[in-house]
C-alpha cells in the first residue's frame, strides 16, 4: 500500500461531505476503520469514500446503523458494496417497506372506522 492510497480524515471529510465528527462516530461504531500513523493520526483507504457513501445512502433508505454494520460485515474483508450487494440489500428493504405500507394502510382504515362511530 502506498502513502498516496491513504487519506487524512480531513481529506476524507472534504471528499465525501461527511463531517469529521461523523467519520469518527462511524469509526467508533465499527462501520469504517482507520490506520494510524506513528504520530497517532488517522489515515483512511481511498475505498472508504465509497464505504461512507454506502453508509449515508443506506441511512437515507431507512437502515439503522446496526443493519448497515450487518450488511458491511457480510462483505469480504474491507470490500465496498457493489451492484449485486445493492440489489440484495434493496430487495430486503423493499419487502420491509411494503410491510410498513400495509401496516399504515390498516391503521388508516381503523382510524377511519373509529371516526365514523363518533358521529
The model's pLDDT over 57-87, given as tens digits with 9 standing for 90+, comes to 889 888 899 988 988 888 776 677 788 887 8
Kindly list the strands in the beta sheet with 42-45, ordered across the sheet, starting from the edge strand earlier in the chain.
Answer: 6-8, 42-45, 35-36
Hey, is 8 helix, strand or coil? strand
What are 98-114's pLDDT values in tens digits? 998 999 999 998 888 77
Spatial contact of 45 and 12, defined as CB atoms under 8 Å apart: no
Residues 6+ apart with CB under 8 A from 90: 61
Amino acid at each position: 500500500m502506498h502513502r498516496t492510497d491513504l487519506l487524512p480524515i480531513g481529506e476524507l471529510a472534504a471528499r465525501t461531505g461527511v463531517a469529521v465528527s461523523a467519520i469518527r462516530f462511524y469509526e467508533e461504531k465499527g462501520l469504517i476503520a482507520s490506520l494510524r500513523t506513528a504520530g497517532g493520526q488517522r489515515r483512511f483507504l481511498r475505498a472508504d469514500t465509497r464505504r461512507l457513501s454506502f453508509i449515508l445512502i443506506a441511512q437515507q433508505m431507512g437502515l439503522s446503523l446496526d443493519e448497515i454494520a450487518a450488511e458491511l460485515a457480510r462483505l469480504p474483508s474491507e470490500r465496498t458494496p457493489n451492484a449485486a450487494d445493492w440489489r440484495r440489500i434493496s430487495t430486503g428493504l423493499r419487502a420491509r417497506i411494503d410491510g410498513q405500507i400495509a401496516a399504515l394502510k390498516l391503521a388508516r382504515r381503523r382510524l377511519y372506522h373509529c371516526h365514523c362511530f363518533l358521529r
